[in-house]
């Protein structure tokens, strides 16, 4: 269990580093130094989850593929003064509450299929979960 937790957190930090670079090159703004910044207390069981980071008004990675019966956890890794986001399935399979920075939401995918989703306050934020049988 400990090893799982460590690898899950490491994975999320790697994603953040990539995102910081993308932010600088694409928008010409100064990205915060995110090294080690997204240390969130995750619920028990979540480390086995596939993580999707919410940062800079985007889901990262935007598309993930998981096996049926597994979970996906969205984590809002934005700075504390940034807005809350949701993860809301286009077809209604799930809908999180508003997630302020530091909050997370986990959904179990039991059915195979392709599930596009968006953020309710920011409909331009989109992603999709592909669930394999």
Shortest distance, CB of residue 81 to Cu ion, whole angstroms?
15
SS3 label, residue 79: coil
Shortest distance, CB of residue 42 to Cu ion, whole angstroms?
20
Shortest distance, CB of residue 29 to Cu ion, whole angstroms?
18
> Should residue 119 be labelled a site residue for Cu ion when binding is judged by CB under 5 A?
yes
Figure out which of the listed residues 6, 27, 39, 122 binds Cu ion, where binding follows CB under 5 A: 122
Show contacts with Cu ion in window 84-103 (CB under 5 A): 85
Distance (Å, whole) CA 110 – CA 6: 26
Q: How many CB atoms lie within 10 A of CB 4?
A: 13
14 is written with which tokens? 């790697």
* Dihedral sign (CA 85, 63, 50, 39): negative
Please report, as ranges, the residues that interact with Cu ion according to CB under 5 A. Answer: 85, 119, 122, 125
């Amino acid at each position: 269990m400990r090893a799982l937790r460590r690898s899950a957190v490491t994975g999320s930090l790697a994603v953040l580093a990539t995102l910081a670079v993308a932010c600088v090159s694409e928008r010409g703004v100064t990205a915060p130094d995110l090294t080690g910044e997204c240390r969130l207390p995750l619920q028990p069981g979540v480390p086995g989850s596939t993580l999707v980071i919410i940062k800079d008004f985007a889901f990262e990675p935007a598309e993930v593929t998981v096996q049926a019966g597994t979970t996906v956890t969205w984590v809002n890794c934005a700075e504390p003064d940034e807005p809350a986001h949701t993860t809301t399935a286009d077809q209604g399979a799930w809908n999180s509450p508003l997630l302020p920075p530091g909050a997370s939401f986990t959904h179990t995918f039991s059915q195979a299929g392709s599930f596009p989703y968006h953020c309710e306050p920011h409909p331009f934020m989109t992603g999709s979960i592909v669930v394999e049988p």
